[in-house]
């Protein structure tokens, strides 16, 4: 009796447990079979394996869009962009469903927080000196 697709995919991830591509293919298969929880379990492993590979983060985000997990997809899109992924397909898919947000510039946030602290300190000093 020939092996099923699922059997081959299970064999692939057992044979090469650190192969992110095999796990993403398996997750896509599981999603197509309406087994989203199992697909997410595979993708959680891929997240750990992705490290600083922008293509893996991009593809992981694309699969998250397929699952309807838009926040996870957005997180992966931002990581892929930060790591230098050259295409915008994931961003466009997220825009199409109204889920795209530009990444937050953390240096600008930190600068704004420092400015707010300086204003508060100046106001406090002015208040103290007028008493």
Average pLDDT, integer, range 60-79: 97
Same domain, 66 and 123: no
Q: What is the pLDDT of residue 113?
A: 64
Q: Which domain holds residue 106?
A: 102-131
Side-chain-side CA neighbours of residue 4 (13 Å): 5
Q: How confident is the model at residue 112 (pLDDT cuts 50, 70, 90)?
A: low
pLDDT for the residue numbered 42: 97
Q: How confident is the model at residue 36 (pLDDT cuts 50, 70, 90)?
A: very high
Whichever domain contains 31, its CATH number is 1.25.40.10
Mean pLDDT of the region 91-106 = 91
Q: Are 18 and 80 within one domain? A: yes
For residue range 42-52, list pLDDT tens digits in order.
Answer: 999 999 999 99
Answer whether 50's CB lies under 8 Å from 57's CB: yes
* Same domain as 87, residue 63: yes
Count structural domains, the chain. Answer: 2
Contact 73, 90 (CB under 8 A): yes
Whether the pLDDT of residue 115 is over 60: the answer is: yes
Task: Tell me what pLDDT residue 114 has.
Answer: 74
**In whole angstroms, what is the distance from residue 110 CA to residue 41 CA?**
35
On whether both 10 and 48 belong to a single domain, the answer is yes
CB 104 within 8 A of CB 110: no
Same domain assignment for residues 94 and 114: no
């Amino acid at each position: 009796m020939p092996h099923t697709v699922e059997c081959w995919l299970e064999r692939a991830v057992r044979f090469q447990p650190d192969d992110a591509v095999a796990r993403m293919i398996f997750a896509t298969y599981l999603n197509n079979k309406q087994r989203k929880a199992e697909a997410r379990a595979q993708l959680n492993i891929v997240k750990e394996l992705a490290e600083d590979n922008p293509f893996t983060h991009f593809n992981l985000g694309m699969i998250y869009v397929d699952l309807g997990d838009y926040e996870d997809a957005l997180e992966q899109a931002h990581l892929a962009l930060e790591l230098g992924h050259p295409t915008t397909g994931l961003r466009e898919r997220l825009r199409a469903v109204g889920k795209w947000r530009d990444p937050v510039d953390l240096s600008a946030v930190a600068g704004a927080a420092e400015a707010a602290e300086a204003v508060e300190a100046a106001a406090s000093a002015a208040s103290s000196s007028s008493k």
